[in-house]
Amino acid sequence: MIVSPCPGQEDAAQDTFVVETCDSMPGPERAVAAAERVRPELEHALKEKGLHFGDPVFLRAFKEENRLELWVRHRDTKKYELFRTWEIARQSGVLGPKLAEGDGQVPEGFYFVPPEGMKPDSTFHLAFNIGYPNDYDRFHGRSGTFIMIHGNEVSIGCLAMTDPKIEEIYTLCDAALKGGQEYFRVHIFPFRMSAERMARETENPWHGFWQQLKEGYDFFEREKVPPTVSVELGRYRFK
């Protein structure tokens, strides 16, 4: 998404987590009001699964399937359990990573959101900045700013949700951060990375890149704990 920074924030525009627009609406109050609306139902649904509001979360998105998952860490097992899956209301671009500012692509890769990435005063209702470009993107010369998961059902390189759904997602993520999680991870994949689905892409120019993504995908599928992701010599590494 390309939006000019607010007056006085021109220098901050180089910060991955800088706000994306000016908005006179009271963001903190908006987030509080959203939490008041959705928290009772979320707490009830979490309790039914043996999970707790405010515990660490993890997000996975699948572009082809148009789905966003939120996982919550179980207090006893320390493994993450799938809490809820939402349909993505709108996304732009095609399968493949984001390469440059203005290309309209949704990124693919491994990202994370610290507290400063939360954007309650977004013009798209509620939002958080996924942290694109990450170290891998920068190593490969990829550019872009203000890539969000947000409400309002419009997207140019972002993942847009309906306002009621972003209220649930934002509230759960915000509670996890306030509960002590330093940041939550957001992993974005072109599709569910089964061996069968990957076999259909052997001639795709992004096949090699997607094989790296599959390593991270398989790690979580096996361990049910998001991997620690680093970049060495321009390649993702997982542990």
- State the catalytic residues: 150, 158
Place of tokens 């060495």: 232
H/E run at residue 188 = strand 184-189
H/E run at residue 71 = strand 67-73
User: What SS3 state is found at 32?
Assistant: helix
Distance of CA 49 to the CA centre of its chain: 23
Question: Among residues 11, 33, 226, which one has the least CA distance to residue 120?
Answer: 33
* Phi/psi of residue 194, nearest 5 degrees: -70, 160
User: Cβ contacts of residue 40 below 8 Å, gap of 6+?
Assistant: none
* Residues forming beta bridges with residue 230, ordered by sequence position: 237
The number of beta carbons lying within 10 Å of the beta carbon of residue 194 is: 13
